Structure 1
Amino acid sequence: MQSFERGSIAAGRLIVPISTFVLLAGCIVGPDYRTPILPTPAHWSGQNPTKTALPAQLSKWWQRLRDPELNALVEEAVAGNLEVASAKAKIREAHASYRQSAATLFPSADGSLSANRGTTAAITSGSGGDSSGEFRSGFDATWELDLFGANHRSVEAARYGLDAAEEELRSRLLTLIGDVASNYAQARGYQARIQLARRSVASQKQTVAITRTRAKAGLVTAAEVAKAKAQASSTEAEVPTLEASYAETVHRLAVLTGRSPDALNDRLKRGAPIPAPRLPVPTGIPADILLARPDVRMAERQYAQYTARIGQAEAARYPSVGLTGNIDTSALKLGDLGKNSTIGLSFGPKLSVPLFNAGKLQAAVDVAKAERDQHFIAYKASVLTALQDVENASVSLTQERIRNGKLASSAKSARDAARLVRILYQSGAASLLDVLDAERSLDTAEDTLLQSRVSITTDYIALNKALGGGWDGAIDSAKPEGVDAKTRPQPASKATQ
């Protein structure tokens, strides 16, 4: 009875510090993250501050270009692009890291089973000796109480890291859709310019034919025929360059969709108009950038992640306490385990206190703080870059529209002038030089007008990208890209082969 009372007293003495440790487990060191409030302008530079700004229409913005082929290419790129697939794999990695970190908050247990067989020989008597065996099984458990929140901060950092990985995927999708739309608009622009160049060549060859006829009649010299032929050949020489640029753009589009470069050659061979956006584009207010741009949100999540890591480093400077326990049983026969066997039980806390480390742990805290500061600066820089992108794209779109109006007027005047000069030349009232100058001016004006139409579309695309317009549909990131073969256990020699 006396021994039982002593055991109870000892157990009570053990339970008191353990319960104290458990109560202290809610103490978490390190800074708690708070979303920073960054100043942004009240309105964009081109907005009227007295009018309420309409919110940006970012959902499926590319559909407002009214091109079914472009819509299909965007869908295919989202499903097949390799950079998007890589970002999905990073999300799966971040999910696994989060589960790893969360597992540290719970106890862990391991089981063991061993068998020993031995022989004892009598050397002096020459006998064969006696054989004996022992079977042993055990169960070990450990649990770190996480007194100062090192594991909790690790889970917190992993959760922020998962958020950042998801925002990186959104950022990749935003860039991808913008690249697909821009390359598609440029491809249609090259097709239109190729058609224009061929029409110009046909028109200039007509001028060559007229000049030959006039030369036969003695009205012009052979030199003028040569000049007309030279201009037609010079215009015709532009076609291969445009064809090469068109092919490169189509190859780039195919790769963006995750296919081989020649996959879209036949599909896009048939020409289509340059996609024209619906204007104007509502841009909302600058503060919307903080919520709309995935790269800004990713930078903010990374800042939060590295803030949590300060707590991890800080907790390493404090004592750590864990609970360990094991149950051990042994018997002479395997069937006797748990029946006719000896059983041992042990349980108790384990305390570890950092005493001297020459400032290593404090230096780790300083490193974590410096890394946190770098990511805070990166977050602020991403906001400024986003604001700059919107301002630049908005100005470019506005000014290009003004320029396009002037170019359209110039092209109309050039067409009228070329038509009138050609009529005058046939009647002998104008020189060949006047015709060649008018044709050259017309080619330049119409080609520049086509390039301006492409620029309006690409500026529209850039503005939507700058505002944060991307893919807002569902994304399945759980499906792995690689398919592993022969995942079941197999002989080592066969696996090596």
Structure 2
Amino acid sequence: AAQAPGSTSPVAQSAEPTEPTPAPPGSRPAGATRDGRWWLQLDDPELTRLVERALGSNLDVRAGIARVEQARYVAMQAAAARYPDIGLRGTFATGTSLTTAAFGKSPRSTMVSGSIPVSYEVDLFAKNAQAHRAAKLRRTASERDLDALAMSLSASVAEAWYDLIDARAQGKLLGEQLETNRRYLDIVDSRYKQGLTSILDVRQQRQLVAQSEAQIALIAGQEQVAAQRLAVLLGSTPEGISGAPARSDDGAPAPADAGAPAAGPVATAEAYFAPARDTLPALPPTPIVDAPASLVQNRPDLRAIARRVQAADRQVASSIATFLPTVTATFTPTYQWLHQPLSPGLMQIGKLPTKAHAFTWNAGVTLSGPIFDGLLRHATTRLDIEQMHELIAEYSQAILGALVEVDSALVLERQQRIQITHLREQSRLASETLDTARDMYKAGLSDFLPVLTALQSEQAAQLQLLAAHRQLLSNRIQLYRALGGALPADMLGPKD
């Protein structure tokens, strides 16, 4: 069908989505963990650059790395109870004694000793071992939490990036529609001046022009908001994005050699993110959706909860062991040196030694056990058991939620494609209707109202089709996020 003057199809603003075609079955070995770098499938180098930068500089990722380190040191604390406790003790003492003072002037004596006390709790009932295993499992859960955070962050970056591109595509389409509306306004105004139409037609078309201008202003704001959101995801302020050119307060780009005083032009994030890009990417084939059981292996959030359930089970075993006796072995080697000069009275008795030193040691085993503690151990154990039950329920709910997320993403993508097919047909019919109404108007067979109605219908269909393409891409991003996957460890955190 012929297009109205200056009208465009939204297909030019967004790449055609491909039909869902399953990937080859052999593209990934059975049982292997899915590659979490899902954004590579979109073949968008700019998105890849943004995601990699976000994974390295996002502040939430840095906080997640700190939580992993905290869990690692907590595990080290739990491991310490499984090893001997070796200390070093030294003593220096000097003074006089009442015994020697009875025989005359009391000389000052000096004693120096050093010992290495060693104690070790014999873990007969694996109390400390189970606590250590629980701490290690919690550390692993923290690592999986970080992976889940990275997956969510990559999806958020992609959504913000394509919101930015979508705003540019809408701005471009609305700009072309505005030019079309102005051309129709010129036609109607010319016919009004010739007395061929009424002032009502002119005013209705002016209203449509004003409506397009208002939409453009709103879309410009949405572009700025998307760019600012993307900058924050990259761990920076919108004004602090590297390489962002300056823009004046009125929205116009500042000259290249113009300075940026504190109260003058400010940097704009939207101008930094590939300003020439205004088309959405075409979708690759629909990814393989494995059996539901594979979600437990591929989803890092499910793996994190599974590790916490295992850790809670180990903690219950450790708590039960506190009811049993504890055996502690001790060994202390000691070296002592003594210098004790004799008083004048004692020196007359005979020759006695004034200095002595010796190595001594003592060893022992202590057996201790609880008799009554006010039900403290009972309450602690029951608390650990109920916490384990809570985690099991959360794990089951998380699995159900993951299954629903995958199914919902597949259903929404399928229905979105059906909607796009109908919107294309609607846009085609609206264009044909506009052609017919315009020809009848030029021939004087109808007034301007059918033309105005057809023009509004065509432009609305174009915007709806563009929005449907954006929603289809969002559904695919959510499907990738729901399927999960593993990311290389070196992708997370700062690279310096």
Task: State the TM-score, normalized to the length of structure 2.
Answer: 0.79
- Pair 479,239 (structure 1): closer, same or farther in 2 beyond 3 Å: closer
Instruction: Give the equivalent residue in structure 2 for 1:34.
Output: none
- Pair 402,58 (structure 1): closer, same or farther in 2 beyond 3 Å: farther
Instruction: Give the equivalent residue in structure 2 for 1:42.
Output: none
Conserved 8 A contact 2:57-2:493: no
> Displacement, 1:53?
12
Equivalent of 1:216, from 193, 210, 230? 193
Instruction: Give the equivalent residue in structure 2 for 1:447.
Output: 463
> Displacement, 1:368?
1.3
Conserved 8 A contact 1:101-1:151: yes
Instruction: Give the equivalent residue in structure 2 for 1:243.
Output: 220
> Displacement, 1:327?
2.2
Instruction: Give the equivalent residue in structure 2 for 1:289.
Output: 295
Equivalent of 1:361, from 372, 377, 388? 377
Aligned length: 426
2:453 is aligned with what amino acid?
A: D
> For the residues of structure 2 that align with 1:304 and 1:462, how far apart are their CA atoms?
29
Conserved 8 A contact 2:334-2:359: yes
2:64 is aligned with what amino acid?
A: A
> Displacement, 1:326?
1.4
Conserved 8 A contact 2:71-2:139: yes
Are positions 1:156 and 2:161 aligned together? no
Gaps of 5+ in 1: 1-45, 334-338, 482-497
2:462 is aligned with what amino acid?
A: E
1:289 is aligned with what amino acid?
A: L
1:316 is aligned with what amino acid?
A: T
Instruction: Give the equivalent residue in structure 2 for 1:405.
Output: 421
Deviates more, 1:409-418 or 1:105-114: 409-418
Conserved 8 A contact 1:77-1:258: yes
Gaps of 5+ in 2: 1-19, 242-268, 340-354
Q: Deviations over 1:224-247 (max 9, x none)?
A: 212211111012111122122222
The two structures, once aligned, show a CA RMSD in angstroms of 3.0
> Displacement, 1:113?
2.2
Instruction: Give the equivalent residue in structure 2 for 1:494.
Output: none
> Displacement, 1:479?
8.1
Q: Deviations over 1:181-206 (max 9, x none)?
A: 12222221111111111111111111
> Displacement, 1:370?
0.9
> For the residues of structure 2 that align with 1:161 and 1:314, how far apart are their CA atoms?
19
Deviates more, 1:81-90 or 1:293-302: 81-90
SS in structure 1 of the partner of residue 235 of structure 2: coil
Conserved 8 A contact 2:36-2:151: no
SS in structure 1 of the partner of residue 445 of structure 2: coil
Deviates more, 1:252-261 or 1:391-400: 252-261
Are positions 1:265 and 2:281 aligned together? no
The correspondence of residues 29-68 of structure 1 with structure 2, limited to 5 A, is: 58-68=35-45
> Displacement, 1:480?
11
Are positions 1:388 and 2:404 aligned together? yes
Q: Deviations over 1:214-269 (max 9, x none)?
A: 11111112232122111110121111221222221111111111121242422223
The correspondence of residues 95-494 of structure 1 with structure 2, limited to 5 A, is: 95-118=72-95, 130-262=107-239, 263=241, 264-268=269-273, 269-332=275-338, 340-469=356-485, 471-475=486-490
Conserved 8 A contact 1:94-1:161: yes
Conserved 8 A contact 1:89-1:480: no
Deviates more, 1:276-285 or 1:216-225: 276-285
SS in structure 2 of the partner of residue 237 of structure 1: helix
1:253 is aligned with what amino acid?
A: L
- Pair 454,287 (structure 1): closer, same or farther in 2 beyond 3 Å: same
Conserved 8 A contact 1:58-1:464: no
Deviates more, 1:350-359 or 1:420-429: 420-429
> Displacement, 1:304?
0.2
1:305 is aligned with what amino acid?
A: A
Conserved 8 A contact 1:117-1:133: yes
Q: Deviations over 1:117-168 (max 9, x none)?
A: 436799x99x997444332222111100011111010111012112111111
Conserved 8 A contact 1:188-1:273: yes
> For the residues of structure 1 that align with 2:383 and 2:98, how far apart are their CA atoms?
63
Task: State the TM-score, normalized to the length of structure 1.
Answer: 0.79
Conserved 8 A contact 1:185-1:275: no
> Displacement, 1:47?
13
Instruction: Give the equivalent residue in structure 2 for 1:70.
Output: 47
